Structure 1
């Protein structure tokens, strides 16, 4: 509203500038039009500013009453707090994957991944869940349970890696129960397919736009993501909050 007013005022001022240079009889008993117009403009600006202040106050109070609008990648209903962001340099973690040589390496890798999971595996209770914009709750121990997405994502990624490790390792002797193995394989396919779909949606949602450069560990042209700084949520703060609000005390295997 103020921009269109200023534009119109400018146009009228330009026209008046031309008019004032024409010879016209003076009327000393009345204020010149330019002075009256300046006063009118001043009053309108003051009134407009006051309206903006009042409107902003109303919007702030309305926002406080309803809760702040959810931030990017936060919980829609403000049931989970907004966590601080921090720059994170992506590095290679030698224990994030197995060496494909020993079972001990798989155990070390599993423990490494478990260290990112909170007690309770990221499940929290939400009372009166029907009051919020939420999917149906998971019935658990007589409560309405929900999973914090990042821990579901970690679970899925580990499950894919674990099945890959199964496929690339030598099968132990005595694996002859083909019928039983067929059922397990079908279940594994279903789980991994779910994880592929779920993680793709998660990546599209995050939309990480950090700029990644040349892989510092090789002369081959390309990037593996290491060496780039990403703006990330403070993961330890998230893990700590999830642990403080856990439903149970155990920390299960990721599979």
Structure 2
């Protein structure tokens, strides 16, 4: 895989993806999270690396449903695993706000996601310096980032399956 180019982004709040009032109502939360779906690749981040055996650093791939009749090797790109974890935590945070009791499965999955995101943040270690702006804490600062459009295009070109085709209208978790 060739390196994905870098691009400068200015961090600003975007109500399409997060709103202050979205957590008060399950429908609002799910509607807002549904807007996140295009942020994920068509295969939910699972990509095929045809010559994966020639890379010493790669572990064994997952086996995923490539289509309705066959399975194949695939890797999940971490960025899409991270987005999945964040959307999972948002949905279940809202359910807790609504008084839904935490199950063992949700507790286990949430703990995994919290630790996975902690390690992902530390791995990326964004060292851009933030200062005071009119936009609020953390907003308005420029960050040198992976060009997400290029990354998403690469992931879609190497997709292992057509995950979005099986997505139901009410499903929002990436």
Mark the runs of 5 or more structure 1 residues left unpaired by the alignment: 1-79, 172-180
Instruction: Specify which of 139, 142, 145 is matched with residue 229 of structure 1.
Output: 142
Query: Contact 1:122–1:242 (CA<8 Å) still a contact in 2?
Result: yes
Paired with 1:217 and 1:89, the residues of 2 have a C-alpha distance of: 11
Distance 1:130 1:244, change over 3 A: closer
Residue of 186, 199, 219 corresponding to 2:104: 186
Q: Distance in 2 between matches of 1:250 and 1:236?
A: 19
Q: How many residues align?
A: 160
Counterparts in 2 of 1:1-255, with a 5 A limit?
A: 80-98=1-19, 99=21, 100-132=23-55, 133-141=57-65, 142-171=71-100, 185-217=103-135, 223=137, 225-251=138-164, 252=167, 253-254=172-173
Q: Which has the higher strand share?
A: 2
**RMSD between aligned residues:** 2.0
- Larger C-alpha radius of gyration, 1 or 2? 1
Say if 1:193 and 1:101 are closer, same or farther in 2 by CA, change over 3 A: closer
Distance 2:151 2:52 in 1: 21
**Higher relative contact order at CA 8 Å, sep ≥6: structure 1 or structure 2?**
2
CA distance in 1, matches of 2:17, 2:8: 21
What is the SS of the residue equivalent to 1:115? Answer: helix
Deviation at 1:207, TM superposition (A): 1.1
Task: From the two aligned structures, give the one with the greater helix fraction.
Answer: 1
* Partner SS, residue 73 of structure 2: strand
Q: How far 1:127 moved relative to its partner?
A: 3.2
User: 1:170 offset after TM fit, Å?
Assistant: 4.9
Task: Assess if the C-alpha contact under 8 Å between 2:26 and 2:94 holds in 1.
Answer: no
Q: TM-score, normalised to structure 2's length?
A: 0.82
Distance (whole Å) between structure 1 residues aligned to residue 8 and residue 18 of structure 2 = 24
> What's the counterpart of residue 72 of structure 1?
none
Gaps of 5+ in 2: 66-70
Normalization by structure 1: what TM-score?
0.57
* Aligned-partner SS, 1:190: helix
**C-alpha distance in 1 between matches for 2:4 and 2:52:** 22
